[in-house]
Structure 1
Amino acid sequence: MDVSPIAWIALIGFIVVVLILDLFVFHRKAAVIPVKEAAAWSAVWVTLGLSFAALLYLWQGHVAAEEYLAGYLIEKSLSVDNIFVFALIFSYFGIPDRYQHRVLMLGIIGALLMRGLFIAVGAALLDAFHVTIYVFGALLLLTAYKVLRHGAAQVRPERNIVLRGLRKIVPVTDELHGQRFFIRSKGVLMATPLFAALLVVETTDVVFAVDSIPAIFAVTEATFIVFAANAFSLLGMRALYFLISGAARRFRRLQTGLCVILLGIGVKLLLTDIYKVPIWLSLSFIITVLAVTFAVSWYETRGDRGRAKREEMHPEELPDAGDELHPETGHSTKGA
């Protein structure tokens, strides 16, 4: 896919402008985004990302549009999984919702820069060494195995090498000081838990990039499409965070779905020189797996919301653990 420098400038310029509007104009205040507002903004960002596929279709044809859609869906799914990890990091450091804004803002900027670097390195390796494609395929199979074996994402900030290195150089306070990353106490420069959380978020994203970049190169080697899919999947990630960070149980099968997708595209890479899987088949596979994943997750958790409401409204009426329930009324038979 031949893309002129003007197209690159236009894409990067658009991403920068949209990021500035999102991070410094629309949501410049340190505040929690309400669920309804987060849902509305998430719909806006997803619509924007899908609209770019329509633009590619008109400009480069259906193959480019299908490659972008496949890459966008992979990256968006991985970003949803990453959100739960960020929530665990914030919980570990005791960061209140109102202060997570700044960490997420800088985290998104850092993620974009990190992905850009990884994409450039990945593209150069693929261009110089054909064997790189097999390395990427093996990495994806390894990632799928780790997801299958460990299930939900685990994060242990206390084992983070960079954080441990920071603590040897700069003391970290036990308490937050508003949105400040550093303070001076008795003439000594000290980092706050907010900076520690940012450091872990940024270094964790390096691991995410190692997983996601090979995944998108499995569906396209067009650097322009790879970068666009990554950039549009990261746009609006803060709104998406406030929308779903507290609903991990509603996505209980996401890990399984991602495992299947990573396994499938990993095998696709390993079979590159034997059989080239059509992009429409890859796209159909990704859409089908995601649809089944979310449908099963919704079905398995459909009663959670009602159960939580009943527990909140009538806790005294709930049966004790081990009580037998009447087969017709559903009430406890205790004391009957």
Structure 2
Amino acid sequence: MVSVGSPLLWSLFAAFVVLALLIDFFALNRQGAHRVSMKEAGIWTLIWVAVSFVFVGLLWWGLGGMGADAAARAMANDKALEFITGYLIEKALAVDNIFVFLMLFTYFAVPPEFQKRVLMLGILGALVLRGVLILVGAWLIAQFHWILYVFGAFLLFTGIKMWWAAGQEPDLDNNPALNWLRRRMKIAPDYDGERFFTYKDGVKLATPLLVVVLLIGIVDIVFAVDSIPAIFAITTDPFIVLTSNIFAILGLRAMYFLLAGMHERFHLLPYGLAIVLVFIGSKMLLIDIYKIPVAWSLLGTAAILGTTMVLSLKIPPKAGEAQKLRGAYPFASKEKKGERE
């Protein structure tokens, strides 16, 4: 499979990701548990977006975007456009992750000062999962071209399913993953700081915080399976696929705190994401008949998401349409909320 990723580029990218994570962890440990303000979240969101565009600018320049060779300039332009389109799609799909994270945090009454560390662990899990799945996906496409049609059909199905589920109230009480964890773990009814395990009457129990971390890991798997085929509809270059995914994920934690208080304002956004998935899935299914230019994919995705957000602000949600986040309860304590299993 053809890729612009030279050993030097891969090494520099890997070094940057490691450095970014180390800085993030250092800042997290130094600040300790604290409530993230909108100002802090906004600043970090802008920083991550700026870093992403600095990266694509350097990539464009390194591939010959400023050179005299017309072929090199054309390739640099194409790869930069592929990165930006993939980054936008992955960033948009990450919004759905954020709303699920918000639902989990609300359901389990995770104190705001603990949410930052939980998200950091979730992002680490997402980075590993994306890396593995992207390499597997790239290998499958290189070996079996027809797998693109499978990815396209899957995205089409996912988009239709997302449209159908938009506006419906999620039912965590009957969630299979949560019920599976309940059957296999002894869970404490209350938090014990940022600990994942605690003791009660001499018995070791998992805290609700550990359950939230595990559920976020499951969410990462589900959304990785949904989003990775979408980026392969834009480009099959493993370097562009991986870098656009990773940069979109690195800013996920800051974006969560920025959007957490605005989820009800964009009540139509799930419909827009559903349309984007159907559009990308259709593009993949038509790849051998008509290849939709990357620029059109970028413009189409931006137009769909922008229109959806504007309409969300102009059209108030109907009664019962907006997702009602459930009040949290100590789910392991049946005597407080009655039988739930």
Q: TM-score range with shorter-chain normalisation?
A: 0.7 to 0.9
Q: Residues 67-99 of structure 1: CA distance to partner in whole angstroms, max 9, x if unpaired?
A: 000100001011112111101011111211111
CA contact 2:42–2:255 (8 Å) conserved in 1: yes
Cα distance in 2 for partners of 1:56, 1:6 equals 12
Equivalent of residue 247 in structure 2, options 220, 232, 238: 232
Alignment equivalent of 2:275, drawn from 254, 260, 264: 260
Match of 2:153 in 1: 138
Is the Cα contact below 8 Å between 1:22 and 1:236 reproduced in 2?
no
Q: Deviations over 1:90-113 (max 9, x none)?
A: 111121111112211100101111
The 2-side partners of 1:224 and 1:44 are apart by 22
More off after superposition, 159-168 vs 87-96: 159-168
Partner of 1:99: 114
Equivalent-residue separation in structure 2 for 1:154 and 1:18 (angstroms):
37
Q: 1:37 aligns with which of 23, 36, 40?
A: 40
- Preserved contact between residue 123 and residue 252 of structure 2 (Cα < 8 Å): yes
Equivalent residue number for residue 19 of structure 1: 21
Please tell me the residue identity of whatever aligns with 2:42. A
Farther off after superposition, 157-166 or 289-298: 157-166
CA contact (8 A) 1:160 1:200 kept: no
Query: Aligned partners of 1:37 and 1:153: how far apart in 2?
Result: 32
2:237 pairs with one of 222, 233, 247: 222
Once superposed, what is the RMSD of the aligned Cα atoms? 1.8
Check the 8 A contact 1:148/1:256 in 2, yes or no: yes
1:256 and 1:293 in contact (8 A); partners too: yes
In the TM superposition, 1:1-336 aligns within 5 A as 1-25=3-27, 28-60=31-63, 61-152=76-167, 155-300=170-315
Q: How far 1:162 moved relative to its partner? A: 4.6
Contact 1:143 1:211 in 2 (8 A): yes
Q: How much identity, in percent, do the aligned residues show?
A: 43
> Per-residue displacement from partner, 1:213-237 (whole Å, max 9, x unpaired)?
0011110101111111111111122
Aligned-partner SS, 2:235: coil
**Number of aligned positions between the proteins:** 301
Structure 1, unmatched stretches of 5+, are 302-336
The one-letter amino acid of 1:57's match is W
**Equivalents in 1 of 2:159, 2:178: separation in Å?**
27
Which amino acid in structure 2 is aligned with residue 224 of structure 1?
F
Q: CA deviation at 1:187?
A: 3.5
For residue 333 of structure 1, what is the aligned residue in structure 2? none
Task: Return the TM-score normalized by structure 2.
Answer: 0.83
TM-score, reference length from structure 1 = 0.85
Find the aligned partners of 1:221 and 1:254 in 2 and give their Cα distance.
27
Shift of 1:298: 3.1
- State the one-letter code of the partner of 1:243: L
Q: Distance in 1 between matches of 2:174 and 2:105?
A: 15
Larger radius of gyration: 1
3-state DSSP class of the match of 2:264?
A: helix
CA distance in 2, matches of 1:214, 1:234: 16
Long gaps (5+) in structure 2? 64-75, 317-341
C-alpha distance in structure 2 between counterparts of 1:110 and 1:51, whole Å: 25
CA apart distance, 1:239:
1.6
- Given the superposition, is the C-alpha separation of residues 295 and 168 from structure 1 closer, same or farther in structure 2, using an over 3 Å criterion? closer
Q: What amino acid sits opposite 1:5 in the alignment?
A: P
SS in 2 for 1:245: helix
Shift of 1:251: 1.4
Change (3 A) 1:290 1:167: closer
